[in-house]
Structure 1
Amino acid sequence: MKEYMMLEAKPLTQAEIANAISRAHQMRSEAFWMAFINAAKWLRKITHSKMSGGSGLAHSS
């Protein structure tokens, strides 16, 4: 806990601020693409089940 308090008390440098902003942009971009990919997968699953004429339920063998 002392280490955390020491780090908290230290003022941030311009380089640290720039690094944090860069990481935030990267994380936001990754989150956007993951949401986009998940939406595309969901849409593909829905349209595939509709186009195949099935009810969306698994076929029994």
Structure 2
Amino acid sequence: MARRGAVFYQRAAIPVDIKDSYPKAEEMLSLKTKDRAEALRLVRIAAVEVDERLAKHRRRITL
């Protein structure tokens, strides 16, 4: 989790095994909140979404 200005963001590094084929060096998603407690709750949900996106990319490149 990172903060830019007053808004919290979820940051995730791209795993080494897909880094060459993934279009970004990291995933960064706004949690759209300034409240730290709310951001801590939302960051878990965002992490699952990013993990699913990375898994989908892995499946696509192995076909």
Same fold (TM over 0.5): no
Q: Report which of the two structures shows the higher radius of gyration computed on alpha carbons.
A: 1
Question: More relative contact order in 1 or in 2 (CA 8 Å, sep 6+)?
Answer: 2
| TM-score, reference length from structure 2 | 0.40
| TM-score, reference length from structure 1 | 0.41
Higher helix proportion (structure 1 or 2): 1
